[in-house]
């Protein structure tokens, strides 16, 4: 039980919450909306919103001096959701999100 308390204290709750909202909830909602076409979903949500969120998450992890392993949170949550609910061509966006988060984090490290 003590391990669970320590893990909960060290957990970056805002990053996890935002990653769940963007990576799972937004992806599911947009996929299920009948008036959102696949093209609009890819352009607006997968490229624009998730791309910006990936850049923000890399900056957030750097700013709050979190461990580099937390760069994987959003891409993995997105990949799980995409695997179960979205077309196969969307799986590759997880790699792009990881790359964007890493670049955002690494570019700040050099300053």
pTM, two decimals, is: 0.86
Tens-digit pLDDT profile for residues 10-24: 677 888 899 999 999
State both tokens at 25. Answer: 């909830």
Name the pLDDT band for 111 (thresholds 50, 70, 90).
low
For residues 78 and 97, the answer to whether their CB atoms sit within 8 Å is yes
Tens-digit pLDDT profile for residues 62-110: 998 888 889 999 999 999 999 998 889 999 999 999 999 999 999 988 7
């Amino acid at each position: 039980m003590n391990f669970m308390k320590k893990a909960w204290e060290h957990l970056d709750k805002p990053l996890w919450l935002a990653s769940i909202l963007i990576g799972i909830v937004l992806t599911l909602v947009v996929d299920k909306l009948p008036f959102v076409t696949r093209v609009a979903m890819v352009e607006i949500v997968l490229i624009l919103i998730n791309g910006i969120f990936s850049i923000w998450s890399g900056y957030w992890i750097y700013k709050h001096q979190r461990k580099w392993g937390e760069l994987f949170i959003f891409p993995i949550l997105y990949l799980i959701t995409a695997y179960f609910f979205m077309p196969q061509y969307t799986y590759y966006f997880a790699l792009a999100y990881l790359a964007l988060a890493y670049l955002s984090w690494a570019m700040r490290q050099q300053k």
